[in-house]
Amino acid sequence: MEHKRKVVYTLVLLLTLSLQAMGNHMKITKAVVPAAGLGTRFLPYTKAIPKEMLPILEKPSIQLIVEEGIASGITEFDIIANADKPELEHHFSHNERLETILEDKGKLDLIESINTIIDTVQFNFIPQPEPLGLGHAVLQAKNAIGDEYFGIFLPDEIMIGDVPALAQLIAVAEKYNASVIGVLEVPHEKVSSYGIVAIKEELEDGVFEIDHLVEKPKLDQAPSNYALAGRYVLSPRIFASLENTKPGAGNEIQLTDGISNMMHNGERVIAYVMKTNRYDVGTPLGWIQANIEVAMHHPKFGPVVKELCEKLLRYSYKL
Ligand code: G1P
């Protein structure tokens, strides 16, 4: 009797594991972070310092991106950066001299958050030889990604919410077995700054079948105000599409156009409205807003910052 029960248990276990394996074939563990941009919207600060190193409180903004990735299950980050930005590689490598000094002072905890990241996940730094556009930047990760679905983070876009934005996309990608682009509604007068989605059909709340995509349309030609907002889960088929994508808006090889081509070749791409607060930290205004929200959530600084904001609004600035 005991033996029979063991056999039944084993069979149930095997069946469960194989069903899980079938359902989980889209395991997403790699992400591309294109970080080769010039940061022109944040000059003169970005003249000598990469925009990805702008601080959000005590962390550079790119560390927040990596933390969102890790919280979404990413274990390999392929960072596309040009040779002018060695700071990114320095930040994601151990600094033995600093560690020795901090250890002697009993203050290693000050770099614990970054050292844990360095010890937990892998970073590849891949150069983009020429600044030919976002699609071209992503294409540089072709060999690193290989034949797997993967995530993309545009590091200007900082997302703050209960569930990491990329994890939300991954859940939709697994459910529909498709590529997913994260979208957010933007004011109509801003559509020409974004990739915009033309919606075919709403599949469920905030999940859309796409008709087509258009990069930076004129206001009167925009099919909606749902903008691509810096998070993607894409099929590796994107690389073949990008190789055949001609320069588009701004005479650059656009990721949006590569995704459109991939759709024409039969890949299903779904748009998902991310549940998140979003800040464009590539601009001074978005950067200060992100800092205020992060500071307000901070266990130590939160109460002080809230009090300061209230005080400034009440007394200092009579608008
Ligand atoms: C890029 C993408 C665009 C997207 C935007 C989001 O544009 O090309 O589709 O909507 O990021 O931030 P960029 O801002 O690099 O011109």
pLDDT digits (tens, 9 = 90+) for 79-92: 999 888 899 999 99
pLDDT digits (tens, 9 = 90+) for 65-121: 999 999 999 999 999 998 888 999 999 999 999 999 999 999 999 999 999 999 999
Q: Are 273 and 212 in contact (CB under 8 A)?
A: no
User: If we measure between CA atoms, which residue out of 280, 282, 256, 279 comes closest to residue 269?
Assistant: 256
42 pLDDT higher than 90: yes
Whether residue 57 has pLDDT greater than 90: yes
- pLDDT the model gives residue 138: 98
* Closest ligand 1 atom number to CA of residue 194: 10
CB-defined site of ligand 1, < 6 Å: 134, 154, 156-157, 194-195, 215, 227-230, 254-256
CB atoms within 10 A of CB 200: 12
Atom of ligand 1 nearest to the CA of 195: 9
pLDDT on residue 313: 85
Asked if 259 and 181 count as a contact pair (C-beta separation under 8 A), the reply is yes
pLDDT tops 60 at residue 13: no
Q: Please say whether the dihedral angle defined by the alpha carbons of residues 128, 124, 280 and 159, taken in this order, is positive or negative.
A: positive
Write down the architecture of domain 23-282 according to CATH.
Alpha-Beta Complex (3.90)
Question: Are 281 and 158 a contacting pair, CB within 8 Å?
Answer: yes
CB count, 10 Å around CB of 87? 16
Q: Which pair of tokens denotes residue 219? A: 């206001």
Which residue has the least CA distance to atom 7 on ligand 1?
194
Q: What are the φ/ψ torsions at residue 138 (nearest 5 degrees)?
A: -65, -40
- Summarised one tens digit per residue, pLDDT across range 208-245 is 999 999 999 999 999 999 999 999 999 999 999 999 99
Q: What is the mean pLDDT of residues 143-156?
A: 97
Measured in Å, residue 131 CA sits from the centre of ligand 1 at 15
Pocket perturbation via mutation, ligand 1, pick of 40, 41, 52, 134 by most ligand atoms within 8 A of CB = 134
Span from the CA of 103 to the centroid of ligand 1 (angstroms): 42
Chain mean pLDDT for the chain: 92
Sequence ranges of the domains in the chain: 23-282
Residue 233's alpha-carbon distances to 108, 236, 315, in angstroms, are 36, 10, 47
pTM reported for the whole predicted model: 0.90
Residue 136 pLDDT more than 60?
yes
Examine residue 223 and say whether the peptide bond preceding it is cis (omega within 30 degrees of 0).
no
Other residues' Cβ atoms within 10 Å of the Cβ of residue 214? 22
Question: For ligand 1, what atom is nearest to the CA of residue 280?
Answer: 12
pLDDT of residue 19: 47
Bridge pairing between strands 157-160 and 195-204: unpaired
- Note the pLDDT tens digit of each residue in 262-291: 999 999 999 999 999 999 999 999 999 999
